[in-house]
Structure formats: C-alpha cells, structure tokens
C-alpha cells in the first residue's frame, strides 16, 4: 500500500505531444477530445472518452487525456479525472486556477456523477461537452450515477460555466462504435454496480 | 504528460502496515477511519478524512487511506478515492467485487459528490460513515458539491448498502480540530470553486 499511479499509454503520450501548443478554435478543441475518445477505443486502453484542458484566455494546451480505467485498473481513471490529474501533477498544483487563466475542460461527453464532483474541486472554470449524459447511457449502457437534474446550474452557481452541443454528432458515432465492440464481446463495460 | 501518482506518506504506510490483518468489530473499523483522519491533520498531509476497506465477510483489511490532496497536489485525492485506488492498484482490479466478498468502505464522513460517484464505479458493496455531509460543511467550510437528497437510496438501488452513526461524536471532534487550524491559518481549505 504505497500509493497508486496512472501511466499514459504510448499512444496517448504521442498524441498529446503532437498537439499544437495553443488551440484557440473551439471546434478544433472538441475535435481533439472526440478523436482521443475514438483512439482510446481503437487502442483498447479504456472507455470511449477523451478530454482536453486549455487556458481559456490564451488557448494554451494544459493537458490531454483519455479514459484509462481498464488499462490502469483504477475505476476513477475517467477521461476527466485523468486529464485534470495529469495537469495538476505536472504543475504541482491541485487548483488549476492557480496555474492558468479560466482553465477550460473540453470533453466528448457529459461528466458522470464522479467527474461532476471532481470538476468542482479542480479549479476548472469552464466546461464544454458534446454528448449528453442520457445519450451516453442509452448508447453505451454505462450507468453515469446520480447526477442531479440541475447539475449545470450547480456548476454555474460555483463559478463554472457549461456549454454543450459542439461535436455532438461525432461523439454519438464514437459512442456507438464502442457499443458495437461491447456487444460483440471485444471490449468490457466497466460498470462496478451490483445490479 | 506521462501520468500521475499518489504516494502514501511514511506515516500512512506505517499506520496501514501496523493494522491487524482482520478487523471484525465495526466500532474498531470506524475508530481506524477516525484516527486516520486525526493523524492526517497532525501530519499536515491533507484534509481531515480517513478510510478503510475490508472484506465484508471475513473482515480482512484490503486498504487504509487518508486525504492527500495538498501533499499530492491532486484535487481528487480524497480519502475514499485514495483508499479505493490503492486497493485496486495493488490487486490490479478496478472492480473490488472481483477480489473480495462484500467489499466495505468505512469512512469518517459522508462522501462528497465526487466520492459518491466513485463508489458506484468501484465495486464497493457497503458504505459506513460517521459525520453527515451537512455537518462536514457546517464544521469545516468545505463545499461537498451537488449531492442529491436521495443519495443513499441511489446507492441502495445500485446494490450498495449505507449505514451511518457509528463514531459520529469523535468524527465531529476531529473535523472541529481541523477547522480551528484553518481559522488560525495553519492549514488550507482546498475548495477549488470560484465563488
């Protein structure tokens, strides 16, 4: 019991290293998140989710990540937690607001109950996502947990803005391709619940 | 961006290594969680929270942890996430139900919004906690996030039972001692929210 680690797989390190230093175009940011999700499926390292963190003022890329639950054997290694944690670990700062202006998380799907809570503790100031939670559940079969109906207002009340819609069609395609691989037994659905 | 790690501080490794292999007495289990929280304050490695995981049938101890947010620079390093993750990492299993019978998490306080979600993904089957969330917020000043009013039923519906009350008085004492250290500037309150 000395701790735990998440190691970015080679493909993710290469993909992250190959990103521009700055991405200002919101469509391009979401495309990165979506294609990280797609690559995550292709590489078999976790669920169909990808995320990007940028400085909301300069567009500087602070981190890129993907779901690594199955490859890291850690149930919390969702794309949002992985991406937030890699940026915090590198900067030695649990509060991303201390190392960037208006830190912004872009993710291909609405955060689950856990990641919703993680956002509030992280210092993120803006969230943009593509697929809605209900669609994630309907398409993939994941249980996203007890997300309150007014979750977006709960974030806004805490100084975190929320935007949705960009990249949604592509996000649905990627989630559907994941579901087909689950249905044919190629990939696991990592719900931990008993029933 | 190669990943991230949480290292258990020396005091936690020694404390965990010194625990009995099996703890069957529920009072003793909660005492461990409470005293991990107290030691966490004394050592200055994080917030006033401690947790224990046991096999619900045999009482075998699967892990012990504490909040390590400030010492690890990771906003997600709450006691529950740290303890679940250390056990998963050691067992190489994201689903604790695969490595133990009725895996049970004992924690000195009600899980925040993030940790509530983390429980559902982890394979935990029973939760026992001491201090209620509203009391945690009132005593410490932490914002526990958007926890739904019916959160316990949300867990029960997913096959996770919930028990509360044991150790509550001691938990309140420990949380109050943390608050005094925050108020005199000795320890940080690591809320990441903007307002």
Q: What is the pLDDT of residue A191?
A: 87
In 3D space, the residue among A109, A147, A146, A104 whose CA is nearest the CA of residue A122 turns out to be A104
* pLDDT tens readout for residues A33-90: 999 999 999 999 999 999 999 999 999 999 999 999 999 999 999 999 999 999 999 9
State mean pLDDT over B118-145: 97
Q: What is the pLDDT of residue B55?
A: 98
* Residue A80 a catalytic site member: yes
Q: What is the pLDDT of residue A104?
A: 98
List Cα–Cα distances, A82 to A88, B1, B25, B28, in angstroms. 10, 10, 36, 34
User: What is the phi/psi pair of residue A59, to 5°?
Assistant: 85, 5
List Cα–Cα distances, B55 to A165, B17, B69, in angstroms. 44, 17, 26
List Cα–Cα distances, B76 to A15, B4, B82, B134, in angstroms. 24, 12, 8, 20
**Band of the pLDDT at B195, cuts 50, 70, 90?**
low
* pLDDT tens readout for residues B61-102: 999 999 999 999 999 999 999 999 999 999 999 999 999 999
Identify the three-state secondary structure at position A24.
Answer: coil
- Nearest beta carbon to residue A151 from set B74, B146, B194: B146
Q: What is the pLDDT of residue A192?
A: 78
Q: Do A1 and B95 touch (CB under 8 A)?
A: no
* pLDDT tens readout for residues B172-186: 999 999 999 999 999
From the candidates B80, B128, B144, B168, give the one annotated as an active-site residue. Answer: B80
List Cα–Cα distances, A56 to A21, A62, A96, A102, B174, in angstroms. 13, 10, 12, 5, 39
Nearest CA in chain B to A157: B195
Q: Which parts of chain A have pLDDT scores under 70?
A: 194-195
What is the distance in angstroms between the Cα of B44 and the nearest Cα belonging to chain A? 15
In 3D space, the residue among A148, A192, A141, A139 whose CA is nearest the CA of residue A169 turns out to be A139
Tell me, what's the ipTM?
0.96
From the candidates A39, A80, A128, A168, give the one annotated as an active-site residue. Answer: A80
Work out whether strand A61-66 and strand A50-55 pair parallel, antiparallel, or are unpaired: antiparallel
């Amino acid at each position: 019991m000395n701790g735990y680690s998440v190691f970015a797989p080679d493909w993710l390190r290469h993909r992250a290293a190959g990103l521009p230093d700055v991405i200002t175009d919101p469509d391009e940011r979401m495309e990165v998140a979506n294609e990280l999700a797609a690559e995550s499926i292709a590489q078999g390292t976790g669920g169909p989710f990808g995320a990007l963190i940028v400085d909301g003022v300069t567009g500087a890329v602070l981190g890129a990540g993907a779901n690594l639950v199955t490859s890291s054997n850690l149930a919390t290694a969702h794309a949002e937690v992985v991406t937030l944690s890699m940026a915090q670990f590198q900067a030695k700062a649990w509060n991303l607001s201390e190392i960037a202006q208006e830190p912004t998380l872009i993710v291909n799907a609405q955060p689950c109950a856990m990641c919703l809570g993680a956002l509030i503790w992280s210092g993120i100031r803006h969230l943009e996502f593509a697929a809605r939670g209900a669609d994630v559940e309907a398409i993939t079969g994941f249980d996203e947990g007890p997300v309150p109906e007014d979750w977006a207002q709960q974030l806004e009340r805490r100084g975190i803005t929320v935007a949705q819609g960009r990249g949604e069609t592509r996000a649905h395609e990627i989630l559907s391709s994941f579901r087909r691989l689950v249905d044919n037994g190629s990939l696991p659905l990592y719900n931990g619940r008993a029933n």
